[in-house]
Amino acid sequence: MNTFLNKIFYFIFPIVVVLIGIELYFRNQDHPFKLKATYQKENFSEIENVFLGTSHTQNGINPEFFSKKTSNLGFAAQNIQLDSAVFFKVIPKMEKVKNVIIELDYHRLDEPIDKNYFRLPWYYIYYDIEVYPINFFNKISLYSSNTEFFNTNLWNSFKSTYKEKVVNKY
């Protein structure tokens, strides 16, 4: 029985180590969710302007060019439901917020967020927002939220044509 358990351990251990390594790789990579969450935590008491919206806001508003501390919390495919969750979870913690600008487009008003939307765990991990119940593995692992997406990113990073994305701290 001991040899059987040892063989199972030696078989599973490398798989677990690889999965933990992949998770750590993606957790430490600079991506908008991580950078914005870090910026929020470091500047909670100083931010005066907050932008919420979709990729139009995410890619169109650069807080670097505002005279007052500004935070851009827009993300691709973020609808009104997610905006309101971010608003009610994050904004009350900010002491100096004077302006909250919310992007309104017709497509944001009609489309409810799917309960299986792969980025919901990201909102939980980085902003402690749980719009719908999230399973245990997705609460602790970015990779498990969308393995196909992360596998594609991982394989692309090994290609000779890969260019690392440049994302500023905002």
Q: How confident is the model at residue 167 (pLDDT cuts 50, 70, 90)?
A: low
Q: What is the pLDDT of residues 64-102, one digit of tens each?
A: 899 999 999 998 888 888 999 999 998 888 889 999 999
In this predicted structure, what is the pLDDT of residue 170? 64
In this predicted structure, what is the pLDDT of residue 34? 87
Q: Enter the tokens of residue 28.
A: 């430490």
Cα distance between residue 31 and residue 61, in whole Å: 16
Give the residue-averaged pLDDT of 145-158.
Answer: 86
> What is the value of pTM for the model shown?
0.82
* Mean pLDDT, the chain, integer: 87
Distances (CA, A) of 13 to 21, 25, 79, 106, 143: 12, 18, 41, 50, 18
